[in-house]
Amino acid sequence: GENVEQHPSTLSVQEGDSAVIKCTYSDSASNYFPWYKQELGKGPQLIIDIRSNVGEKKDQRIAVTLNKTAKHFSLHITETQPEDSAVYFCAASKAGGTSYGKLTFGQGTILTVHP
Amino acid sequence: KAGVTQTPRYLIKTRGQQVTLSCSPISGHRSVSWYQQTPGQGLQFLFEYFSETQRNKGNFPGRFSGRQFSNSRSEMNVSTLELGDSALYLCASSLTGPGDEKLFFGSGTQLSVL
């Protein structure tokens, strides 16, 4: 089955710096890659996603890049703010097939933004 | 539009008991998925329901079961609880159809088994 590795497990940055979280996946048939942010006491919140026919996607301070050949995708957060502090999860799935509702998640990155 | 609603937020049970968790999806969403989140294993897929039918399931024992009602609301049941079942149980809903892969999660039910 699919395996998703996420690095680093913890990331500490100063406010205003950029943060990068990286994930690799094992199944070349995976074609949908969402990123989730989870704050304490809440469920994961979808912040951005990318499909395999796109190499990069941006939404304000957040961007995701995908390298299908290397089976690698990354989350980039620019101009970090203290409210960006949370646990971030990457995930992969084979959308459009029979993997209904199934995302394979990375182990998570605890991001801390210091004021 | 209201988000995914899960009840109850917290549950404390003892080993051997059974538990039922409830999930109301976003209005218009007909697919409901369940996940288990633990510090050791992370987020793991339990099963997915659409139109009252289980379409997909993960690698969990038969003690974990679910169902979906005609209004898309879903419940999951865990029988003969074990200490290792202590976890945050998350429900997610989505639209269905090509391009509708986005999962929207509720805040979860925190289950503690003593």
**Which residues in chain B land under pLDDT 70?**
97-99
Q: Which chain B positions have a beta carbon within 8 Å of A35's beta carbon?
A: none
Which DSSP symbol is given to B66? E
B34 touches B46 (CB < 8 A): yes
pLDDT tens, position by position, A93-108: 998 777 788 999 999 9
Residue of B35, B83, B32 lying closest to B60 (CA atoms): B35
Which of B31, B98, B102 shows the shortest C-beta gap to A100?
Answer: B31
CB contact under 8 A, A46 and B42: no
| Distance, CA of A44 to CA of B79 (rounded, Å) | 26
Q: For A47-89, write each residue's pLDDT tens digit.
A: 999 998 889 999 999 999 999 999 999 999 999 999 999 999 9
Nearest to B61 by CA among B37, B95, B85: B85
Q: State the pairing for strand pair A10-14/A109-114.
A: parallel
Contacts with B103 from chain A: Cβ below 8 Å: 34, 46, 101, 103
Question: Alpha-carbon distance B32 to B50, whole Å?
Answer: 7
